[in-house]
C-alpha cells in the first residue's frame, strides 16, 4: 500500500503532545510509513485527525480523503458539515472512559454521602443524626448508555447503587435496569434521586431535561451533567432549583463555554460549576484508536466507531 498522508487538524498546540503518541501507535499498527503532518496539500490528504475549532471547515478540497477521525467523543461540531462526504469516526478511548467513570462516581458519591454538609458546615456543633443511606437505597439514572454511560452505570451498580439507564435502543446491561423510548424516559426518571447525563448533543436530545421531565423526578433529586449543555433547559433547571424540587446540579458543560461570568449558575448556592473537565481524550490510548482506524482504512477493514450522521452521533 502507498503511505497515507494524515493531517493533524486539531488545534496546533496539541501537536507536540499527540505527535509522539501517534507516531508510536501508527508504527505499532503497521502504518509506520504514514506521512503524519500539520500541513499538507489538501488534494494529498487521506485522513484528517479532527477536533472542534479546527482550521479545516471546508472538506471540499480534500479530494482523496478516506475518513475524518474525531479526537473527541462528541461530534456535534462536525457531523452537520455538508462538505464532509466521507466516513466520520468519533473517539472511543479507554482513558477517556476511565476518567469519566471516576468523575461521575466521585460526584455521585459526594451527593449520596452528603459530603457538602460536613465540608461547608463545620461549626463546632456535633450533629450525628444523618447517617447516609446505603447505595442500594439510592436510585441513580444514567441517561445515555453508550461508551461512557454504560461504563458509568456499571461502575455505580458495582458500588451497589440502584441504577437505571436510558438509551435510544433497548439494552441489556448487568446490574442496570434499562429503559428506552419516551415512556421509558419517564419511568427511568421517576426513581432517580441522582440523574447523570451522558447523551450526545443532537436535535433529539436538546432540552431533554426540561420542565416536564424535571417534574418526573422525585423531590430533592440531583443532576450531574458531563454530557453537553444543550441537554438541559437552563431556565427550567434554575426554576426547579429555586423551588427546591431539584436539590443540586453539578454541571460540567454549558451552552456557552466558557460559562459567562454573569451566568446565574455561577452564583447559585445549589449549583456546582466545573469547567468542562469531566474527562478528556488521553493522547496515548486515543492515538492507538486513531492508528487502528487508519490501518483499517488502508487494509479495507470496516472503520470503528462510525458516526450515524442521520442521528447526529
Ligand atoms: P455514545 O455515542 O457511545 O453513546 C450515546 C448514548 O446516548 C447511546 O446510549 C445512545 O443510545 C444514547 N442516545 C443518543 N440519542 C438518544 C436519544 N434521542 N434518546 C435516547 N438515547 C439516546 O457516546 P459516548 O458515551 O461516547 O459519549 C456521550 C457524550 O458524552 C458525548 O457525546 C459528549 O457529548 C459527552 N462527553 C463529555 C465529556 C466531558 O468532559 N464533559 C468528555 C467526553 C464526552 P443508543 O445506545 O441506543 O445508540
Asked if residue 37 has pLDDT above 70, the reply is yes
Query: What pLDDT is stored for residue 1 in this prediction?
Result: 60
Domain that holds residue 174: 94-273
Q: Where are the beta strands (DSSP E) in 130-267?
A: 139-143, 162-167, 176-180, 194-197, 221-225, 246-251
- The percentage of residues in the chain with a pLDDT greater than 90, rounded to a whole number, is 97
Distance CA 160, CA 156 (A): 7
For residue 312, tell me if it sits in a domain.
Answer: no
Same structural domain, 195 and 290 = no
Span 185-209, average pLDDT:
98
Same structural domain, 134 and 217 = yes
Same structural domain, 55 and 135 = no
Helices (DSSP H) in 39-179: which residue ranges? Answer: 94-113, 115-120, 147-158
Mutate to test the pocket of ligand 1, among 52, 102, 152, 167 (most ligand atoms within 8 A of CB): 167
Same structural domain, 30 and 133 = no
Query: What pLDDT is stored for residue 32 in this prediction?
Result: 87
Considering 245, 263, 276, 309, which one is annotated as catalytic? 276
3-state SS class at 201: coil
Query: What pLDDT is stored for residue 45 in this prediction?
Result: 98
Same structural domain, 68 and 117 = no
Interface predicted TM-score (ipTM) of this complex, two decimals: 0.99
Distance CA 160, CA 181 (A): 26
CA distances for 82 relative to 42, 91, 140, angstroms? 17, 21, 38
For residue 310, tell me if it sits in a domain.
Answer: no
CATH number for the domain spanning 233: value is: 3.40.50.720
For residue 308, tell me if it sits in a domain.
Answer: no
pLDDT digits (tens, 9 = 90+) for 63-120: 999 999 999 999 999 999 999 999 999 999 999 999 999 999 999 999 999 999 999 9
Query: What pLDDT is stored for residue 214 in this prediction?
Result: 98
Number of structural domains (the chain) is: 2
228 is catalytic: yes
Same structural domain, 57 and 186 = no
For residue 83, tell me if it sits in a domain.
Answer: yes
Same structural domain, 54 and 107 = no
Same structural domain, 40 and 169 = no
C-alpha cell at 230: 444543550
For residue 190, tell me if it sits in a domain.
Answer: yes
Work out whether strand 176-180 and strand 139-143 pair parallel, antiparallel, or are unpaired: unpaired
Same structural domain, 210 and 255 = yes
Same structural domain, 56 and 99 = no
Mutate to test the pocket of ligand 1, among 146, 204, 223 (most ligand atoms within 8 A of CB): 146
For residue 309, tell me if it sits in a domain.
Answer: no
pLDDT digits (tens, 9 = 90+) for 250-305: 999 999 999 999 999 999 999 999 999 999 999 999 999 999 999 999 999 999 99
Do residues 42 and 57 touch, judged by C-beta distance below 8 A? no
Residue 312 CB–ligand 1 contact under 6 Å = no
For residue 304, tell me if it sits in a domain.
Answer: no
Same structural domain, 101 and 89 = no
Ligand 1 center to residue 34 CA distance, Å?
32
Strand partners, 311: none
For residue 158, tell me if it sits in a domain.
Answer: yes
Same structural domain, 73 and 111 = no
Query: What pLDDT is stored for residue 275 in this prediction?
Result: 98
pLDDT digits (tens, 9 = 90+) for 112-165: 999 999 999 999 999 998 899 999 999 999 999 999 999 999 999 999 999 999
Amino acid at each position: 500500500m502507498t503511505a497515507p498522508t494524515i493531517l493533524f487538524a486539531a488545534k496546533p498546540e496539541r501537536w507536540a503532545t499527540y505527535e509522539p503518541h501517534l507516531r508510536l501507535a501508527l508504527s505499532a499498527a503497521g502504518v509506520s510509513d504514514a506521512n503524519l503532518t500539520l500541513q499538507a496539500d489538501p488534494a494529498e490528504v487521506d485522513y484528517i485527525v479532527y477536533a472542534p475549532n479546527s482550521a479545516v471547515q471546508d472538506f471540499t478540497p480534500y479530494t482523496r480523503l478516506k475518513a475524518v477521525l474525531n479526537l473527541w467523543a462528541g461530534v456535534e461540531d462536525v457531523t452537520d458539515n455538508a462538505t464532509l462526504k466521507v466516513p466520520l469516526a468519533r473517539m472511543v478511548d479507554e482513558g477517556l472512559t476511565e476518567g469519566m467513570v471516576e468523575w461521575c462516581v466521585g460526584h455521585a458519591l459526594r451527593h449520596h454521602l452528603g459530603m457538602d454538609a460536613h465540608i461547608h458546615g463545620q461549626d463546632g456543633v456535633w450533629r450525628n443524626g444523618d447517617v447516609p443511606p446505603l447505595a442500594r437505597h439510592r436510585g441513580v439514572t444514567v441517561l445515555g448508555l453508550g461508551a461512557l454511560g454504560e461504563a458509568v452505570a456499571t461502575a455505580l451498580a458495582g458500588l451497589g447503587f440502584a441504577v437505571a439507564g436510558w438509551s435510544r435502543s433497548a439494552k441489556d446491561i448487568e446490574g442496570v435496569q434499562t429503559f428506552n423510548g419516551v415512556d421509558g424516559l419517564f419511568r427511568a426518571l421517576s426513581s432517580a434521586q441522582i440523574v447523570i447525563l451522558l447523551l450526545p448533543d443532537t436535535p433529539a436530545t436538546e432540552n431533554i431535561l426540561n420542565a416536564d421531565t424535571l417534574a418526573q423526578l422525585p423531590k430533592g433529586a440531583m443532576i450531574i451533567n458531563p454530557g453537553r449543555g444543550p441537554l438541559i433547559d437552563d431556565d427550567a433547571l434554575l426554576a426547579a432549583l429555586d423551588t427546591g424540587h431539584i436539590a443540586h446540579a453539578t454541571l460540567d458543560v454549558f451552552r456557552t463555554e466558557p460559562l459567562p461570568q454573569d451566568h446565574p449558575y455561577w452564583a447559585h448556592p445549589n449549583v456546582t460549576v466545573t469547567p468542562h473537565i469531566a474527562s478528556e481524550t488521553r493522547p496515548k490510548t486515543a492515538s492507538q484508536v486513531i492508528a487502528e482506524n487508519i490501518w483499517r482504512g488502508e487494509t479495507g477493514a470496516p472503520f470503528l466507531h462510525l458516526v450515524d450522521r442521520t442521528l447526529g452521533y
